[in-house]
Amino acid sequence: TPAAHPGVLGPPRPSLGCWDLCCPSWSAGTPTAHPWVLGSPLPSLRCWDPHCPPWGNGITAALPWVLGSPLSSLGARGSLSAPQPVSRAAEEQERLLRHRPDQPRSPKVLKVAIIGAPNAGKSTLSNQLLGRKVFAVSKKVHTTRCQAQGIVTSEDTQLVSSWWPERSLTAAVFSFRHKLNESMLKDPWESMKHADIVLVLVDVSDHWTRNCLSQEVLKCLSQFPQIPSVLVLNKVDLVKKKFILLDLVAELTEGIVNGQKLKMRYNPEHNSHCSLDSSNPKPCEHKHLKNMKGWPGFQEIFMLAALHGEEVDTLKQYLLMQAKPGPWEFHSGVLTNQSPQEICDNIIREKMLEYLPLEVPYGVHQVTEMWEEGPSGELLIMQNLVVPRKSHMMMLIGRKGKIISRIAQEAGQDLMNAFLCDIRLKLRVEVKS
């Protein structure tokens, strides 16, 4: 099904029938045993459960359609090369950012805006799209503070993605509470105006929020109805009963995808069906936003587990294929518009968010004292963490220095992966004088 197997929903081709949710073990919740990742090549697109009936024409026939282009072109993009490291020297990064893009003769570009609730997985998804962790991720809300961009360059195409927490789209009060960077409040609308596609990310493991889109997101989508939008259901790995995803799709789309009405059928033997009814086109009623739970204007639906990279490649391929002819914005050597120091600050902050009570990391002022190359080519970083109170200092250091050394060790590891070089990271905690 678009909902459970390939993870993508879209406009049907006349030859396509229903996509069946017929695997008995599917509804028993064995996601890893199922090929609900569509990025794999066709021959391996089979259910791994021997008791599962072989795919009918639904899945395989749907593949080229699901991705909106013939398989051959997918193959050409199938082997996306490993991403380069982020440059570790600020001057080098600045130089790359200033550099004229080294674009090919017929460049293509797609500006992607990612919106979604705090913790929906925007940063995780962005890292996965890049293939390298350069954005901080945390289970505490509002890890995303300054608006960052991720740049994926593949062959002739460049994807430029930006994202914000959904509430920054409207709520000024929010900045007050969480001291969000000012640019976050102004930029979203401005950047959204220039986006070519909007990804609306929903955390399907969150029982409280998963059934409806927030007013902020609905307002945003209705403000820019001309920008194609895509619904991305994230964290499907955490949903045991996969058939719930079908209900969510129905609710979050108001039963309409790409102008087609969704048809849902269930029966007790798990033969639940979901299809698009092309004979019933465009019943897109105009309800008042306040009465809407979902958005009837989505053109595609993806289901993925960004944390594990599942289905991310399918989404990436789809985005690459949506790109339109246009000049690149960045040199192909650029992965993010963040400076190396910003990446470092955010990663250290991520670890503080992970191991400390919420009020502590938000009060820490990070000052980089040293950033230089060591004798063996390693990167030496020394950062002071300035806290407002002695009690915060004690928490940050932890018993026998356990917390601070864990933060330094994990942050160092992440930075090593971002910059692809040895890192020696020293953290010092001091109370603000």
Ligand X SMILES: Nc1nc2c(ncn2[C@@H]2O[C@H](COP(=O)(O)OP(=O)(O)OP(=O)(O)O)[C@@H](O)[C@H]2O)c(=O)[nH]1
Q: Give the interface with ligand X as residue ranges (CB under 6 A).
A: 116, 118-124, 137-139, 141-144, 165, 234-235, 237-238, 305-307
Nearest partner of 230 among 116, 154, 133, 80, judged by Cα: 116
Nearer Cβ to ligand X, position 22 or 232?
A: 232
Handedness of CA 292, 298, 303, 306 (dihedral sign): negative
Distance CA 361, CA 355 (A): 9
Considering the complex, what minimum distance in angstroms separates the CB of residue 62 from ligand X?
23
Nearer Cβ to ligand X, position 144 or 154?
A: 144
- Tokens read off for 207: 């029982």
φ/ψ region of 338 (left if φ > 0, alpha if ψ in -120 to 50, else beta) reads beta
Nearer Cβ to ligand X, position 305 or 408?
A: 305
Contact 55, 45 (CB under 8 A): yes
Burial of 242 (0-12, 13-18, 19+ CB in 10 A): buried
Nearer Cβ to ligand X, position 235 or 331?
A: 235
Considering the complex, what minimum distance in angstroms separates the CB of residue 351 from ligand X?
12
Nearer Cβ to ligand X, position 124 or 147?
A: 124
In one-letter notation, the amino acid at residue 202 is V
Distance CA 5, CA 94 (A): 43
Describe the crossing of helices 312-322 and 71-78 by its angle, rounded to 10 degrees. Answer: 110
Contact 111, 194 (CB under 8 A): yes
203 forms bridges with which residues in the sheet? Answer: 234
Nearer Cβ to ligand X, position 184 or 323?
A: 184
Q: How far is CA 398 from the centre of its chain?
A: 33
- Tokens read off for 257: 């995808």
Considering the complex, what minimum distance in angstroms separates the CB of residue 165 from ligand X?
4
Considering the complex, what minimum distance in angstroms separates the CB of residue 230 from ligand X?
16
Distance CA 68, CA 11 (A): 9
Considering the complex, what minimum distance in angstroms separates the CB of residue 234 from ligand X?
5
Nearer Cβ to ligand X, position 195 or 276?
A: 195
Nearer Cβ to ligand X, position 119 or 158?
A: 119
Where helices occur in 244-311 by DSSP H, the ranges are 244-252
Nearer Cβ to ligand X, position 22 or 236?
A: 236
- Tokens read off for 73: 């072109």
Nearer Cβ to ligand X, position 165 or 333?
A: 165
Considering the complex, what minimum distance in angstroms separates the CB of residue 349 from ligand X?
11
Considering the complex, what minimum distance in angstroms separates the CB of residue 125 from ligand X?
7
Residue with tokens 């000012």: 182
DSSP 367-389: EEEEEEE-TTSPEEEEEEEEESS
Considering the complex, what minimum distance in angstroms separates the CB of residue 430 from ligand X?
27
Contact 367, 331 (CB under 8 A): no
Contact 276, 262 (CB under 8 A): yes
Handedness of CA 182, 161, 212, 32 (dihedral sign): negative
Considering the complex, what minimum distance in angstroms separates the CB of residue 144 from ligand X?
3
Considering the complex, what minimum distance in angstroms separates the CB of residue 101 from ligand X?
27
